Amino acid sequence: MAQDDQFKKLIAHAKEYGYIFQSSEIYDGLSAVYDYGQYGVELKNNIKKYWWDAMVKMNENIVGIDTAIFMHPEIWNASGHTSAFNDPLIDNKDSKKRYRADELIEDHIQKYQSKIEKEIKKGRKKFGDDFEEKQFLETNPNVLRNKVKIDEIQSRLVKALEADDLNEIKQIIIDCEIADPVSGSKNWTDVRQFNLMFETQLGSTADGASKIYLRPETAQGIFVNYLNVQKTGRMKLPFGIAQIGKAFRNEIVARQFIFRMREFEQMEMQFFVKPGTEKEWFEYWKEMRIKWHKAMGLPEEKYRFHKHDKLAHYANAAYDIEFEFPFGFKELEGIHSRTDFDLSQHQKFSGKKLQYFDHESGESFVPYVVETSIGLDRTFLSILSACLKEEEVKPARLAGGKDNGETDTRVVLQIPPALAPIKLAVLPLVKKDGLPEKAREIMDELKFDFICQYDEKDSIGRRYRRQDAIGTPCCITIDHKTLEDNKVTIRNRDTMEQERVQISELAKIVDDKVSMKKLLKKIF
C-alpha cells in the first residue's frame, strides 16, 4: 500500500475507533490541535506510566515533579526562547502554502538518501551473499555522486542556519530547484523568522496586565526547580528530575496529524552531573533510551539514531532517536548534553545561586545537564502506525468445534499488550440462559486488576473483530459449558488461538500477558 494511503487509513481508524478526534470538530476543527478519545486516553496514560516507571520507579536517583504551564516571563529570556526559538518560514506565492524552509531542504536531501538506499538494494540483489555494504558505499559511483550532493547541501544549510542567513537559505532552495510539494511551483517569497511561542496576558488590563507565554517545553520548569528538589530531596549528583506535561508551539506547518501539534505533551528528564562526566552520562542515556523504545517490541529497524550536525552553541553532543513514520524517518526523541548553560543562565537572570556543593572535593559548581526529551504524542503515533495491520485470516473454530464466524480479513491493532487500552473483553456467547450473569460475575472480579469491556451484541466473530480493531489482547467467551465446568475460552489477539481455561486462573493468565513489569524487565 502506498505510504499516503496507509497514513490516511491510520487517521481514519484512529477516529472511527475512538482514539483521536480533531479538536472542536463540530465547528470544523482547529488546525493541528487534537483530542484523545476513550481508547486514546488509555493508551496515552499507559505510555506515560511506562516512561514514568522506567525513569522514576526504576532509578533511585530520579524523582518526578509537575510544574505550572505559566512561568515568569523572564525565564524565556534566560533560556533564549524569546530571541531564538524561531523557525525560518517561506511561502509559495502560487499555492499560498507555507513551509519551514529548513524542512524543504532536508526533504530534498532525503531524496538523495533514498537514491543511495535504492542503489544498496540493487547491489545486494546483484552480489547476493558476497555483498559488502561498506565497500559498496565507498566505491559505487552513483552512491558517491549522491553523497557529494548531500554533503554539499547539508554543509550550506548548517552554515546558513548557524549564521542566521535567511537569504542564503532561500538561495539553497533556488539552487536546488526545490518546488512546492503540493503545486510544483517554484515561485517563493523571501525566508522570514517566526517565533513559535504563544503569548497571553496575566491579570486584567486595569491591573496592569503583563505578557506571559504558554511554555514551549517542560524542561525550564525542571531547571528553575533544580535547587528546590536538590535540597528538599537531599539529592546527590548524579541525579535526575523527570516531568510529563503539556507544551505549546505555534508551529508553521502542521500537516502531519499528531506528529506536529500546536498543543502537545512532552516527557522530559534532566540529569544533573559533575562537569567532566557528561559525555559518559550522555552515552549511558543514549543506550537506555533506545532500549526503552525497543523493549516495546515494534520492529527494530524502524528506529535509528541521527547525530545533530548543527549543535546549539551551548550543547556538546546531541542525538535524535528517529522513527520510521508512514511519512519517513523523523525525530521521536532528543538526547542532548546541554553543559551548564540553562542553570548558569537562570543564575544570571534571577540573581540566585544555583550551585551544588560537593562534600568530597569541598567545591561548589553549577552542574552539567544531560537531557532526554520525548514527545508523548509522537510515541503514540509511532505505536499506532507500526501496530495497525490488515490481515488475511483462516476461519477459526471455537474450542467446542463450532465455527466462530470470523471473516477472512481483519484489521488488528497489535499494540504491545502492556500498553493496550482495554486488556480484556468479556463476551457471553448468547444473551440468555444465565450466560450474561456469569460473564458479569467474572468481570466484576477482574475489573479490579484490568480495564475490561463487556460486550454481548452481535455474533462472537463480529465482537472479536471489534476488539481486534481497538487492540484488546485477550477476549474471553462464556458459553453453556462454562456454567458446568467453570471454564472459559480465552482468545489471543495476535495468534487468534483459543484455549479453555479455569476461571480461577484468568487473573494470572491475563496479568502474565499484559504486565508492565515484563517490559521493564527487558530494560533493567
| Residue 184 grid coordinates | 510544483
Cβ nearer to ligand ATP, comparing 161 with 374: 374
Q: Which is nearer to ligand ATP, 260 or 423 (CB)?
A: 260
CB of 198 to ligand ATP, least distance (A): 12
* Rg for the chain, CA atoms, rounded: 27
Q: At its nearest, how many Å lie between ligand ATP and the CB of residue 512?
A: 32
Q: Is 366 helix (H, G, I), strand (E, B) or coil?
A: coil
Residues that bind ligand ATP (CB under 6 A): 217, 249, 251, 260-261, 264, 266, 331-334, 373-375, 377-378
Q: Considering beta carbons, is residue 32 or 412 the nearer one to ligand ATP?
A: 32
Residue nearest to ligand ATP (CB): 375
Least distance in angstroms from the C-beta of 112 to ligand ATP: 20
Nearer to ligand ATP, 252 or 470 (CB): 252
Beta carbon nearer to ligand ATP, 328 or 395: 328
CA distances from 381 to 12, 48, 274, 388 (A): 13, 14, 36, 11
Pull the grid cell for residue 96.
499560498
Residue 436 beta carbon to ligand ATP: minimum distance, rounded to whole angstroms? 43
Whether the bond between 238 and the residue before it is cis, its omega within 30 degrees of 0, is: yes
Give the residue carrying C-alpha cell 525542571.
222
Closer residue to ligand ATP, CB minimum distance, 377 or 468: 377
Q: Angle CA(442)–CA(47)–CA(413) in degrees, nearest 5? A: 65
> Hey, which residues does 502 pair with through a beta bridge?
487
Rounded to a whole number of angstroms, the minimum distance from the CB of residue 66 to ligand ATP is: 18
Residue 376 half-sphere exposure toward CB, CA atoms < 13 A = 27
Q: CA nearest 220: which of 124, 82, 410?
A: 82
User: Exposure string (b/e) for 339-351, b if CB count within 10 Å is 16 or more?
Assistant: bbbbbebbbeeee
Alpha helices in 176-303 (DSSP H): 219-223, 226-232, 278-295
For ligand ATP, the closer of residues 260 and 346 by Cβ is 260
CB of residue 100 to ligand ATP, shortest distance in Å: 8
Look at strands 424-428 and 368-375 and give their pairing: unpaired
**Least distance (Å) between residue 371 CB and ligand ATP:** 9
